[in-house]
């Protein structure tokens, strides 16, 4: 598993060129991209990173990768990120690491989006993985109730010590469980109508290239 993540994560660095502004995703697969990028920067590559989480900013900062905030760039050339699920239509679920809001804002600003995944992330239909929604703490129970009335089960995300998990934006995450997304577009519309939902983890029409590390050590490049 570790190796699938490493080979996919490192492979993505081949798309990085001198002078680019690079969106840096969050998670244990893109971790390997950032480690390799750090070495490239130490060897003289000139790029600027835009981090999608405090965790990524810390890793990149420690490696000497120059960073700017999203507000300080006009666009991003390429973003490399992980994903929790990708289907055959290039639609995905993200946010397992809680960074979905910043990840989506960075993806939206990017000319090219690459996802790095292990082969277990490729699915026919989205939904095996819980769908995270980022909610404003004020009134999160209302959102839970609204969804429950529609038969949608959620789980408030907690940390290992049982304290409520808070995103880098100070919000909570409700994970939608036991759902299959045969029509993710209609789900996107439904979730957008509920006040207090800041963002959801359905990433539809974002990814351009999926780099998939396989158990047998091969790498599959899947282009849209």
Which residues are annotated as catalytic? 103
Instruction: Examine residue 175 and tell whether it contacts ligand 5RP (CB under 6 A).
Output: no
Instruction: Give the tokens for residue 123.
Output: 């699915």
61 in a known ligand binding site: no
- In whole angstroms, give the CA distance from residue 120 to residue 32: 18
- In whole angstroms, give the CA distance from residue 23 to residue 113: 9
Helices (H) and strands (E) in the chain, counts: 6, 13
96 in a known ligand binding site: yes
Instruction: Examine residue 55 and tell whether it contacts ligand 5RP (CB under 6 A).
Output: no
Smallest separation (angstroms) from ligand 5RP to the CB of 141: 24
CB 184 within 8 A of CB 204: yes
Candidates 21-29, 71-79, 171-179, 186-194: pick the segment binding ligand 5RP (CB under 6 A).
Answer: 21-29
Single residue of 38, 97, 130, 213 touching ligand 5RP by CB under 6 A: 97
**Degrees, nearest 5: CA angle 176-177-180:** 95
Beta-bridge partners for 203: 92
Instruction: Examine residue 130 and tell whether it contacts ligand 5RP (CB under 6 A).
Output: no
Distances (CA, A) of 115 to 9, 14, 83, 137, 162: 9, 13, 6, 30, 31
Candidates 19-27, 39-47, 136-144, 172-180: pick the segment binding ligand 5RP (CB under 6 A).
Answer: 19-27
Q: Which positions from 24 through 53 interact with ligand 5RP, judged by CB under 6 A? A: 25-29
User: Under rule CB under 6 A, how many of the chain's residues touch ligand 5RP?
Assistant: 17
- In whole angstroms, give the CA distance from residue 56 to residue 180: 30
Residue in 12, 9, 30 with CA at minimum distance from that of residue 208? 12
Candidates 38-46, 98-106, 146-154, 170-178: pick the segment binding ligand 5RP (CB under 6 A).
Answer: 98-106
Instruction: Give the tokens for residue 191.
Output: 């979730």
Single residue of 36, 47, 79, 81 touching ligand 5RP by CB under 6 A: 81
Smallest separation (angstroms) from ligand 5RP to the CB of 48: 21
38 in a known ligand binding site: no
Smallest separation (angstroms) from ligand 5RP to the CB of 39: 20
CB 52 within 8 A of CB 106: yes
29 in a known ligand binding site: yes
Binding residues for substrate: 26-29, 81-84, 94-97, 121
Question: Which residues are near ligand 5RP by CB under 6 A?
Answer: 25-29, 81-84, 94-100, 103
């Amino acid at each position: 598993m570790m190796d699938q993540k490493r080979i996919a994560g490192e492979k993505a660095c081949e798309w990085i060129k001198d002078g680019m502004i690079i969106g840096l995703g969050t998670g244990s697969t893109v971790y390997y991209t950032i480690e390799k990028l750090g070495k490239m920067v130490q060897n003289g590559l000139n790029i600027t990173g835009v981090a999608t989480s405090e965790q990524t900013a810390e890793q990149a900062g420690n490696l000497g990768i120059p960073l700017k905030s999203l507000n300080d760039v006009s666009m991003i050339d390429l973003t490399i990120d992980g994903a929790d699920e990708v289907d055959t239509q290039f639609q995905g679920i993200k946010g397992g690491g809680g960074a979905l809001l910043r990840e989506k804002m960075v993806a939206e600003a990017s000319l090219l989006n690459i996802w790095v995944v292990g082969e277990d992330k490729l699915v026919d239909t989205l939904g095996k993985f819980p769908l995270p929604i980022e909610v404003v703490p004020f009134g999160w129970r209302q959102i839970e109730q609204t969804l429950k009335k529609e038969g949608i089960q959620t789980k408030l995300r907690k940390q290992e010590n049982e304290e409520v998990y808070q995103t880098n934006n100070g919000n909570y995450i409700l994970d939608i469980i036991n759902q299959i997304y045969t029509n993710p577009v209609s789900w996107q519309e439904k979730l957008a109508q509920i006040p207090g939902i800041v963002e959801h983890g359905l990433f539809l029409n974002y990814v351009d290239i999926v780099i998939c590390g396989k158990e047998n050590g091969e790498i599959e490049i899947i282009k849209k």
